[in-house]
Amino acid sequence: MSKKSLNKTTIREFSVIFEKLKNDGLIFRCSFAQISKHFLNEFLLVNAFSVDFETLKLAYLEHIEFEMNIVHKTNEHELNRLANERHNNEIKEAIKDENDFHKYICKSYFDLTSEPKEELLRAFIKATEDIKKIDDTLDDIKKTLDEIHTRNLTDEIQEKNPILYYYQEINERVKFELLNFIKDDIKDYALDKSYNNSFISSWFTQNIYRYKWNPDLYKPKYPNDLSNKMGNLPLPEFHKLCNTYKEDKTAFYSFLNKYISDEEIAPEIFEMTQKHHILASKKEIIFEAINIYQNGSKIMFACAVPTIIEGILHDLCLLIGEKENDLLQKGFQYKLDKLNNIFGWELYYEYYSFRFRLIRNKVAHGRLTKIDVDELADLLLLDLHQICHLVQSDKLKLNHKRFVIDELNKNILCPNYKFLMEYILLEKEPVPSFYNLGVVVEKIEELILGDKFWEFLESELNNGVNM
């Protein structure tokens, strides 16, 4: 019975053999030696499972027409000569030991450098350990909620329950994701980990379940009052400041007053109101609130800022396509949930959901004390500053479209057509008249109709450029 020749088998044919081993479940049950023997049985005239290693080795060498003493061709290129020598030496080393031989077969023909069954076992153990950690966290959350319920203290319930319910939800979600990983993806993950540092392996490893990368993210934490503030400070200095905030309020507020002055926080807020239509629409109330702050009327400022911030968040929701009626009916948390999908970490979702919300509620119910006001006014100014920066984020389609228009306008006579392609993708995003870009937009629209752009586009498509 004739069999295929290893020397004439294509990569596609090797892939078919591998897929058969995979579909039969052998890849995840077998050692290197067993995988190697199943593979060699497709080509050799001997039964790899019946003969001893010496017989198998000789059968393989004969099959691939291996020459122990390589004879070089007279006109052979130096690179080819070196490659052939390296390949021959690799085989000579591999055939010295049975285990090394089977590892060589698996690596040479399937690119396997570790046994898939071992990688699968490791991945399963790690995944089940992570499920246990998640279950422990969920148990701790439930226990804490039960204790809070027993104490029945209104302030504690308002402060802690929303945070605990939030972490309960994200832990349940990530547990569901992890169970799906075990059910649907763990074998592919294990197999990709078995390959020889391939691009595919690297890509899949980066896309494993989220919990694996940072389990601490799923442990309940109460928001830091400073987490969304003073982002320009070096991290060690910021951590030191957080400790000062906890341990020495007098020293902290002394630093904060100086920081607000040195960084020109109020003037920068004024400046930002000139640059974005959402802030410009609230310019008068923002100016009045800051003037009140600068004149020392901190209680009025502290009462005004939460409403201003919520108004800005409301307008951001409208900008991303949310309906006015939904925003009015579903409240503050709904707005944050929608914006979190757009901004991610830039929003500081946990701070605004669980800490700022309490401040906002205190203001709404007239429960701010003199101590609250003295401590909150400077911090609220920084909240307003951070939210004004958020409005400028490139994650908003409008802002990115304005950036693209600006880039095109820098050289409208000889534009970068890749920016023009971006502009077309954003064409349906309206640009308010506030930005006075009508004339520039007309020129850009003319570029789209011009022959040069379409010639560029055709060239890109013909060249197979990834746009």
Q: How far apart are CA 452 and CA 454, in angstroms?
A: 6
The neighbouring-strand residues paired with 60 are: none
Is residue 112 left, alpha or beta, with left meaning phi > 0 and alpha meaning psi from -120 to 50? beta
Question: According to the model, what pLDDT value does residue 199 have?
Answer: 44
The three-class DSSP label of residue 112 is strand
CA distances 329 to 33, 365, 382, Å, are: 66, 19, 29
User: Which position has the token pair 């949930």?
Assistant: 337
- Residue 422 is inside which H or E element, if any? helix 417-425
The neighbouring-strand residues paired with 112 are: 195
* Helix intervals (H) in 152-229: 154-180, 186-194, 199-206
The neighbouring-strand residues paired with 150 are: none
Q: By C-alpha distance, which of 261, 250, 249, 263 is closest to 293?
A: 261
Q: How far apart are CA 48 and CA 18, in angstroms?
A: 17
**Do 313 and 356 form a contact (C-beta atoms < 8 A)?**
no
Q: DSSP letter for 195, please.
A: B
**Do 119 and 32 form a contact (C-beta atoms < 8 A)?**
no
387-394 — which CB contacts under 8 Å span 24+ positions?
387/309, 387/312, 387/313, 388/269, 388/272, 388/273, 388/279, 388/312, 389/272, 390/316, 390/343, 390/346, 390/347, 391/272, 391/276, 391/278, 391/279, 391/312, 391/316, 392/272, 392/275, 392/276, 393/343, 393/346
CA distances 66 to 2, 37, 81, 82, 128, Å, are: 20, 19, 15, 16, 47
**Do 379 and 351 form a contact (C-beta atoms < 8 A)?**
no
Q: How far apart are CA 53 and CA 319, in angstroms?
A: 71
- Residue 7 is inside which H or E element, if any? none
Question: Within its chain, how far is the Cα of 114 from the centroid?
Answer: 28
Question: According to the model, what pLDDT value does residue 200 have?
Answer: 46
Q: Phi/psi of residue 195, each to 5°?
A: -75, 165
- From the number of C-beta atoms within 10 Å of its C-beta (0-12, 13-18, 19+), residue 317 rates as buried
Q: How far apart are CA 206 and CA 334, in angstroms?
A: 31
Of the CA atoms within 13 Å of residue 58, those in its CB half-sphere come to 4
Mean pLDDT by 10 residues, the chain (467 residues): 82 92 92 96 94 94 79 62 80 93 94 94 95 97 96 90 94 95 92 73 58 90 90 92 93 94 96 96 96 90 94 96 93 94 94 90 76 83 97 96 94 88 91 94 90 82 60
- The tokens describing 456, both together, are 């560029």
The three-class DSSP label of residue 315 is helix
Q: How far apart are CA 416 and CA 430, in angstroms?
A: 22
Residues 6+ apart with CB under 8 A from 171: 134, 137, 138, 141, 218
- Residue 108 is inside which H or E element, if any? helix 98-110
Please count the other Cβ atoms lying within 10 Å of the Cβ belonging to residue 225. 19
Question: According to the model, what pLDDT value does residue 293 have?
Answer: 93
**Do 304 and 289 form a contact (C-beta atoms < 8 A)?**
yes
- The tokens describing 395, both together, are 């994650």
